[in-house]
Amino acid sequence: MITIRAKRSRSGRSRSVAGTVGITLVVLIGSTALFANQIAPGDPFNTEAGPALSPPTASHWFGTDNLGRDMATGIVHGARTTMTVVVCVVIISAIIGVSVGAVAGFKGGLVDDFLMRVGELFQVVPRFFLALLVISFFGPGLNKLILLLGLTSWPFLARIVRADAISIKEKDFAAAARAAGASSIRILVRQIVPNLLPAAVVVITLFASRVIMIEAGLAFLGLGDQNRMSWGGMANNAQQFLQVAWWMALFPGLAIVLAVLGLNLLGDALTAALDNRHGR
């Protein structure tokens, strides 16, 4: 028994540390994106900061690129592009996913079957290749990417929310609300949805890291918004200079890794907290 408790204690501490690291990374990147213009004022595309292909120095921490632009400035403004995509996609997919899942789980029957079949249609479509197709036909653009990912990324969240809604609608507080004469909409909005949000937040956090990878992958292939500085675009630009300017690829790649790592660690910590809340 003592050994089991010790193992649980160590596991709890490691999760706490991982969660702290995740929160720190997410807050750091989010703050960088929010205050990008204050941290690195000026146009990151057209401002020459020093000699071309200059390695990291005290004046240019991340070095300069092939046009003499400061890499640190590009990383800062790239954070704004990435977080803009993540936040907008998460908002769109969360609204759709939570609404569809809550209604499907609460209503059940034909409504549930119909909504889940619609979700399956979206779920089987590979989002990355669909994005490639859309951008190839209609051209690159941040708005197109946000709408595409937001409108196609909700099915998994909807299924998780649906499962919780089926369980929650049988709880005593939902039954008491029905017995008191509350309408279905009132029960759904006041009783069901608030209790769904913790699990939904966990799924959303883990999903956000995938959005970063898709945006960076498209930009790396040259299909991102050319009017926005992005980490994937910077990594794409670095390909032909790998042998003479290693820093051009290292720092954008490191930014992507840290952003994805931070969100995954935060998601794991939230999952652990949710498990503890339910006694699992």
CATH of the domain at 81: 1.10.3720.10
pLDDT confidence of residue 276: 64
Rg (CA), the chain: 22
Residue 272 lies in a domain: yes
User: DSSP character for 61?
Assistant: T
Residue 211 lies in a domain: yes
pLDDT band for 257, please (50, 70, 90 cuts). Answer: very high
d(CA 194, CA 205): 17
Q: Structure pTM? A: 0.84
d(CA 93, CA 23): 22
Chain CA centroid to CA 160, Å: 17
Q: What is the mean pLDDT of residues 241-245?
A: 89
pLDDT confidence of residue 125: 78
Taking Cα atoms as reference points, which of 93, 100, 92, 90 lies closest to residue 158?
100
Which residues on adjacent β-strands are paired with residue 64?
70
3-state SS, residue 57: coil
Residue 3 lies in a domain: no
Residue 27 lies in a domain: yes
pLDDT confidence of residue 230: 92
- Looking up tokens 């040259």 gives 222
Residue 5 lies in a domain: no
What domain count does the chain have?
1
pLDDT band for 5, please (50, 70, 90 cuts). Answer: very low
- Looking up tokens 């653009």 gives 141
pLDDT confidence of residue 62: 92
d(CA 158, CA 122): 11
Tokens representing 16? 């706490």
pLDDT per residue over 100-115, tens digit each? 999 999 888 899 999 9
Residue 6 lies in a domain: no
With beta carbons less than 8 A apart as the criterion, state whether 84 and 170 touch: no
Tell me the residue type at 104: A
pLDDT band for 246, please (50, 70, 90 cuts). Answer: very high
Per the structure, the complete domain to which residue 268 belongs is given by 11-277
With beta carbons less than 8 A apart as the criterion, state whether 106 and 169 touch: yes
